[in-house]
Amino acid sequence: MAMSEANVARASAPRGLTAKDRNRLINIAIPVGTAVSLLLIWQAGVRLFGVPQYIAPAPTDILSVFVSEFPLLMRNFWPTLIESLAGFIVGNLAAILIAVAFVHSRLVERAFFPIAVFVNTIPILAIAPILVLIFGPGLTAKVVIAALICFFPTLVNMVRGLQSVSPQALELARILSASKSEVFWKIRLPTSLPFLFSALKIAATTCVIGAIVGEWIGANVGLGALIIESTFNFRSPLLYATVFVSSGLSVVLFAAVTLAERFIVRW
Amino acid sequence: MHTEGRDIAASLSGAGVRFGDFTALKDITLDIGAGEFWTILGPSGCGKSTMLRLVSDLVPPATGSVEIFGKSTEAARLAREFAFVFQDATLLPWRSALKNVELPLEIGRKRGIAIPKGDRTPRELLELVGLGDRADALPSEMSGGMRQRVAIARALVCQPKLLLMDEPFGALDEMTRDRLNLQLLDIWRETGTTILFVTHSIPEAVFLGQKVLMLMAHPGRIKEVVDIDLPYPRAISLREAPEFNAYCSQLRRLLEEC
């Protein structure tokens, strides 16, 4: 609705910017301007005080490494992307299925919820070496770590979402003599979607953290491995470039989830 | 008071409802004739909503029995002989107005349950409640009054012989409420359905009903049934009439005695 109204507004005022457009431009300009200013201050500060490159490289140093080492960065980007995505899918799918089981059986919830809370209290950095020991230095350990970090927020949100059906909606279902599966597919699941998507947004960024932590412990490819390697070799511009690529990966995943939400949760 | 030989839509005999130690309804004996419009009044906590929930098989009777068109409430529910309109429209927010009206036709279809289809299609029902042009609108894009009209269209889609309404216009402003009252009377005349309508507004109860059932609290039981002898079709101007106000004063006195 809002989109079509904006289009109408634009069509009716072809010349010049409408107030809405101007507002939107200002909303973009302010954060971009701030970021550019901070980068300029960083650049000037590093040059002015003669900070050695291995302690803090200037933004231009990072940019030039980003360009020259682009193939190296990409070679390490793909494994991390695959691990993050696989972890995202496995962790969230497990959380959704367990949430469904919790909502349908109080017994299952009472038996397993404390265990889920306990697993969640173990710092991911503490459990990662154990998982690498169990699953070896390959892909599996990283996927499991990424899945584990996604799991708990999605579980909690999904349980809340599935339980947020109004009592009247359940009475309506009862009057229509709806079966348990009809209540689930037609009422509970759609009701839970906004809750699920706020959890998936959290998972979109944390799954990358999980994959990178996994790569720190035992890997020779991936952004995490590249971070460790460039740190030990004092290749600070490459380290910074890798960090930016990592956060770029999180942003891409977050944007993908947001886009999916906009298509699916239209109400 | 009840004429012999009429068709009975709902028959309660000695029906009571208990929630733990609390007696919500006690010893309700009542016959509601097919095609009649009953309104239910009473102080809060007198079991008005519970009475609709008893008739619609949402709560079981602790004592006595309830029959809908000579069947058990469960059999009537499975045959979709009654429909319920809640105070809150209870639309599914991801479904358009039309899709919400179609919901009762979808429930049970895959299980091969015979769903009674009304003479009117969901689209025609939306037109009946004056929302023919808003079929694709989502609930969030509609006003409270429009949402409640969609809920009424949804309730009518299986052509119920008994319509249970639990303060359906309680949350609406006065003008919307007046308009929907008139529309509901039109729908009642056109469909010939029986209506049980809970309200806490005395004028609304008198304006709509042929009979007003007055309940009293602690425990919820029947205080009195008042016949409203005012001709249909009723217009808003009826509210100025002395007979109308006489009924209102009578009911107000009864309510004070409760």
Closest Cα in chain A, distance from residue B161 (Å): 14
Residue A261, Cβ density class (10 Å: 0-12 exposed, 13-18 middle, ≥19 buried): middle
Q: What is the pLDDT of residues B27-65, one digit of tens each?
A: 999 999 999 999 999 998 899 999 999 999 999 999 999
The closest alpha carbon to B108, from A103, A166, A175, A162, belongs to A175
Q: From the candidates A170, A175, A180, A188, which should be mutated to test the interface with B, based on the most B CB atoms within 10 A?
A: A175
Name the residue facing A168 among B78, B80, B88 (closest C-beta): B88
A166 neighbourhood in chain B, CB within 8 Å: 88, 90
B108 touches chain A (CB under 8 A): yes
| pLDDT at residue A218, as a whole number | 79
Q: From the candidates B90, B110, B113, B134, which should be mutated to test the interface with A, based on the most A CB atoms within 10 A?
A: B90
Sort strands B82-85 and B37-41 into parallel, antiparallel or unpaired. unpaired
A264 touches chain B (CB under 8 A): no
Name the residue facing A190 among B56, B92, B113 (closest C-beta): B92
| pLDDT at residue A16, as a whole number | 64
| pLDDT at residue A1, as a whole number | 41
* Rounded Cα distance, A213 and A215, in Å: 5
Name the residue facing A175 among B84, B140, B141 (closest C-beta): B84
| Cβ contacts from A onto B, under 8 A | 58
The closest alpha carbon to B131, from B161, B152, B115, belongs to B152
Instruction: For chain B, list the domains and their CATH numbers.
Output: 8-81+160-257 (3.40.50.300), 89-159 (no CATH)
Helix, strand and coil in chain A, % to nearest 5: 85, 0, 15
* Rounded Cα distance, B102 and B79, in Å: 17
Q: From the candidates B57, B80, B86, which should be mutated to test the interface with A, based on the most A CB atoms within 10 A?
A: B86
Show pLDDT as tens, one digit a residue, over chain B (258 residues). Answer: 444 557 999 999 999 999 999 999 999 999 999 999 999 999 988 999 999 999 999 999 999 999 999 999 999 999 999 999 999 999 999 999 999 999 999 998 888 778 888 889 999 999 999 999 999 999 999 999 999 999 999 999 999 999 999 999 998 999 989 999 999 999 999 999 999 999 999 999 999 999 999 999 989 999 999 999 999 999 999 999 999 999 999 999 999 987
> Which amino acid appears at position B22 of this protein?
F
Show pLDDT as tens, one digit a residue, over chain A (267 residues). Answer: 444 444 444 444 445 678 888 889 999 999 999 999 999 999 999 999 999 988 899 999 999 999 999 999 999 999 999 999 999 999 999 999 999 999 999 999 999 999 999 988 999 999 999 999 999 888 999 999 999 999 999 999 999 999 999 999 999 999 999 999 999 999 999 999 999 999 999 999 999 999 999 999 878 899 999 999 999 999 999 999 999 999 999 999 999 999 999 999 988
Task: State whether ipTM is beyond 0.85.
Answer: yes
Q: Hey, which residues 4-43 in chain B have their CB within 8 Å of chain A?
A: none
Whole-structure pTM value: 0.85
Closest Cα in chain A, distance from residue B130 (Å): 22
Q: Is B95 helix (H, G, I), strand (E, B) or coil?
A: coil
B103 touches chain A (CB under 8 A): yes
Residues 6+ apart with CB under 8 A from A79: A139, A215, A219, A221, A222
Distances (CA, A) of B224 to A110, B87, B213, B220: 49, 24, 6, 12
CB-CB under 8 Å, A173 with B107: yes
Provide the token pair at B243. 């007979």
A173 neighbourhood in chain B, CB within 8 Å: 107
CB-CB under 8 Å, B139 with A186: no
Closest Cα in chain B, distance from residue A21 (Å): 24
Q: What is the CA radius of gyration of chain A?
A: 24
B113 neighbourhood in chain A, CB within 8 Å: 177
A19 touches chain B (CB under 8 A): no
Q: Hey, which residues 142-171 in chain B have their CB within 8 Å of chain A?
A: none
- Number of other residues whose CB lies within 10 A of the CB of residue B145: 19
Query: Phi and psi (nearest 5°) for A12?
Result: -80, -15
Element of type H or E holding B82: strand B82-85
